[in-house]
Amino acid sequence: MRALHFDGSQAHVVDCPEPAATPGMARVTVRMAGICNTDLELVKGYMGFEGTLGHEFVGVVEEGPDAWQGRRVVGEINFACGRCATCQRGLPRHCPTRRVMGIQNADGALAEQVMVPVENLHAVPDDISDLQAVFTEPLAAAFEIPEQVSIEAGLDCLVLGDGKLGLLAAQVLQRAGARVCAVGHHPEKLALLSARGIETRLESDWQPRPTSLVVEATGSARGFQLALASTRPRGTLVLKSTVAEHPQVDLAPLVVHEIQLLGSRCGPFEPALQALGEGSVDVTSLVEERLPLARADEALRRAARPGALKVLVEVAVS
């Protein structure tokens, strides 16, 4: 099969063996996959990953339990052991021996086929298109924020970053009842939020002000300090960026202002699929380009352009 393989220095579309079926796993034919900022950080050296990239996908189960065969699915990306104390506490996404699709010790979905634990599969309702479904994983990451933080009606909230995740997070927080302001660099991207009634500001015209809940989704190392400066005393700062760079940061303001700092990563698929079915979160406007798998290395480069929105890779045509 064909796959976008990263060898530690470069990513190329290559021929590789089809994945072998193993107990508890389903073999999925990928229909569409997305490129996210984590993929771009991986090719810069984040996690020291080598293998097939990609963790945002929608596909059809080709091999697995009878109940799943032929079903259109999306899949959670953390492959947990299911036996350790962390898994038994109901935290499989934090399993200390987990593998992570396209990120850590597991091949990803920018390929014709991908192996996914059966327990990670979620069926995609018929009223959700492939183009919408491919956003399930990043949208679930946005839904992790209201899982971690109680969102009261009218809560003042700042989202820093107008990348794909920032645009999704702003919509999810508005949907939860927060009063959201989104700050970014690109007027055309912020306009997507303005059209949905979300306040927006260009960073060049904006000054930090104390805010109860700040979501850092800049995808940059400098975003933390800007987010910290924007969080009110005893406020909450949610970190969403994962970057290869290791910046020096001043942690004293966290102590002085008694700020609650939350790391936030993967999230629940059920509310993401529900929101996609309702149309209460717009994802189609975030799509900038669709390229075939044969040009997936080019898709990676296009996704890395400053200001790029979502670049999708079409794998199997339905």
218-231 pLDDT, tens digit per residue, is 988 788 889 999 99
Is residue 242 predicted with pLDDT exceeding 90?
no
153: number of Cβ within 10 Å? 8
Q: Are 301 and 293 in contact (CB under 8 A)?
A: no
139-182 pLDDT, tens digit per residue, is 999 999 999 999 999 999 999 999 999 999 999 999 999 999 99
Q: Token digits for 199? A: 């306040």
- DSSP letter for 45, please: T
- DSSP letter for 50, please: -
What stretch(es) of the chain map to CATH 3.90.180.10?
A: 2-135+283-314
Is residue 15 predicted with pLDDT exceeding 70?
yes
Which secondary-structure segment (H or E) carries 48? none
Banded model confidence at residue 317, pLDDT cuts 50, 70, 90: low
Q: Are 308 and 302 in contact (CB under 8 A)?
A: yes
Superfamily classification of domain 139-263? NAD(P)-binding Rossmann-like Domain (3.40.50.720)
Q: Are 124 and 74 in contact (CB under 8 A)?
A: yes
CB-based burial, 230-266: b 16+ in 10 Å, e otherwise:
bbbeebbbbbbbbbeeeeeeeeebeeeeebeeeebeb
Q: Which CATH class is domain 2-135+283-314?
A: alpha beta
Report pLDDT for 205.
92
Q: Are 77 and 46 in contact (CB under 8 A)?
A: no
Q: Are 192 and 285 in contact (CB under 8 A)?
A: yes
Is residue 318 predicted with pLDDT exceeding 70?
no
What stretch(es) of the chain map to CATH 3.40.50.720?
A: 139-263
267-294 pLDDT, tens digit per residue, is 999 999 999 999 999 999 999 999 999 9
What distance in Å separates the CA atoms of residue 211 and residue 220, rounded to the nearest whole number? 20
DSSP for 185-232, written as a single string: S-HHHHHHHHTTT-EEEEGGG-----EEEEEE--SSTTHHHHHHHHEE
Strand partners, 51: 6
What distance in Å separates the CA atoms of residue 65 and residue 21, rounded to the nearest whole number? 11
